[in-house]
A and B are shown apart, each in its own frame.
Chain A
């Protein structure tokens, strides 16, 4: 994907990325898109993709940084 955003907007963040960030991609590809329930021939429609892939993500992170304590994300206290 090429960003059409003016460079000034990109400069507001941590930095423009040539490749789409994986976390942003997974937010959309796994949790978004049309879900066709009941018609998919295979049972995949019943698989919780977000949870299953989160396990993969967490496992890979854990392998890299075992020692760091988890800091509480904003989400934990945010009722939204």
Chain B
């Protein structure tokens, strides 16, 4: 692992992954919170025609032109979605899907046009589709670094406004913020992040880089500032771990590994994050179900004993089984372990019987009280 870091290509790619993780985590947070996660997907696909146009203008694989072209077509696609969904009955999903597929189609047309006509080699243009991290050049890093810095500066300067537009656009509008302008600005910045990431992880996987780190971060924290930093951190971790893993194993493409690491982070966060983790709520539900069974059983035995005016009235288990419609043996054994019931003597031809202990009666009375309180709605 460590000698890998000495490799110049690996250094370049790792640094690129760090920058990509930072910028996509930062801007992705806003996209995810504004429920525009799939905007990244549309932008990534819509960048393709721009890549081709940039290439056609520059006549070579000039990163500046290509990025500019990608940015322009991505923003046009995003504006198209905004306009179509606002001024017609077409919904967000169809708008995003139409913009995505049509602009990608135009991109494919341009790509074949370049392959057929342009005299210069189009070498490396495909890498924008599928990503080719190893092709990252040191000069690309300066560009990515610049974009990352610009995005961070912009978010820092407009922090309050962006926060408000993200969480309460109506209120933001009512106090005189230019919501439309801010939304377009955010969209353009997300487009910028997507464009930066394209040649590292490719069109499809860039979608995941915008969504996965913020979603993972959201599980652990509830404040926007914490979420943004954690999302950047998660992005960097997925990027670096992905790059190192793929550098260590031959034939492993970087982009997919980065995305799988990010997906693993999301899965872990969804399951384990304190408070929000799905695993904890399953555990809680399971415990709750178990204790409800025990509490019901205590009350049933208590009422039966009251009814028969015998505090140690032995109840046959098979009767409890048929009353509840499930096997109750495990519930009774757990209650026995807690000292609330004891096995009672019974005639040989009958099945096992159980009776409440004094502690069990106490517990059942408390349970009944709690139920009364709950019913009274106090």
- Tell whether A and B belong to one assembly: no
Task: Enumerate chain A interface residues (CB-CB to B < 8 A).
Answer: none
Task: Enumerate chain B interface residues (CB-CB to A < 8 A).
Answer: none
